[in-house]
Amino acid sequence: MHRRILFLSVGLWIILLPGCVHTRNNNNGTMTYRTLTPEEERVIVNKGTERPFTGEYYQHKEKGTYHCKRCDAPLYRSEDKFDSGCGWPSFDDEIPGAVKRVPDADGYRTEIVCANCGGHLGHVFEGERFTEKNTRHCVNSISMIFKKEDTMQKTDTAIFAGGCFWGVEHHFLNKPGVISTTVGYIGGHKDHPTYEEVCTGKTGHAEAMQVIFDPARVSYQELAILFFEIHDFTQVNGQGPDIGEQYRSEVFYLDENQKKTIEELFSILKDKGYKVATKLTPATKFWEAENYHQEYYSRKGSKPYCHAYRKVF
């Protein structure tokens, strides 16, 4: 990746007047958005702010999940909500891969948006020591819809590293059952690593992809099989022409069931005569990569040069 030219492009958005359907063209086709009221449009689309202490979810305490008002993607769990006294709903963590951080237009704050549709949520602050996670997502109630625990869509998370994260993500975006993907860094010893730092090979991180999926539609095993079938899992510390520890093949498991699944696939691959170089490691903190890395090939309109599907299992 150190030899690549980065092409930044803006996705095609069609914003219609309130009462019409909002659509966005992306690699998954056209997404349909919920019709927004003028006030919802002011906040979610035009990045406004609702008045403090007035939002529906400011003092809300039911168990469940908070979803994006516009596209219905799950954003926050009730167990991560806390009372900061700021006047807006506060969360100290998000559902992995659900929220993206972008520099605010004011030049000093960090805006948070829905990773699925880009709808404005609010801002994120760190270092205030409200909770042990030392993070506060300050979210507009009007940007969210709450779903009680018994009506929630069940989701799960997987993390795979298999060379350049652009190519790995490309092959997962259209997989049925995949809700969202985020590329980033994991497995290193430095907090908040940058792309340039990871590329030096001195931080210990791997370029990786975090995927949120619906286990009712696709299993972890199916995703793991896809992972092995889109990259060379026999290559050590590299993938094709991309050479370095950051391009290693590695699965970061989040529970014992995931670990067992990968171990079973290792056994099958070895029985087939493959010399598996993929590492199996407990997941640590996943650091989201810079915005221009997200869905890179979809925005560029091209295909990966070192990731191609071939049937293995």
Distance between alpha carbon 164 and the CA centroid of its chain, in Å?
A: 16
Query: Looking at residue 297, what DSSP letter applies?
Result: H
Residue 68 known to be catalytic: no
Out of 71, 117, 164, 306, the active site residue is 164
Q: How many residues does the chain have?
A: 313
Q: What one-character-per-residue DSSP string does the chain give?
A: -TTPPP------EE-PPTTSPPEEEETTEEEEPPP--HHHHHHHTT---PPTT-STTTT---SEEEEETTT--EEEEGGGEE--SSSS-EES---TTSEEEEE-TTSSSEEEEETTT--EEEEEEES--SSTT-EEEEE-GGGEEEEEGGGPPP-EEEEEEES-HHHHHHHHTTSTTEEEEEEEEES-SSSS--HHHHHTT-S--EEEEEEEE-TTTS-HHHHHHHHHHSS-TT-SSEETTEESGGG-EEEEESSHHHHHHHHHHHHHHHHTT-----EEEE--PPEEPPGGGTTHHHHHT---SS-------
Query: Residue 215: beta bridge partners?
Result: none
138 catalytic? Reply is yes
The phi-psi region of residue 118 (left if phi > 0; otherwise alpha if psi is between -120 and 50; otherwise beta) is left
Of 71, 117, 138, 306, the active-site residue reads 138
**Chain centroid, CA 41 distance in Å:** 24
Which residues are identified as catalytic? 138, 164
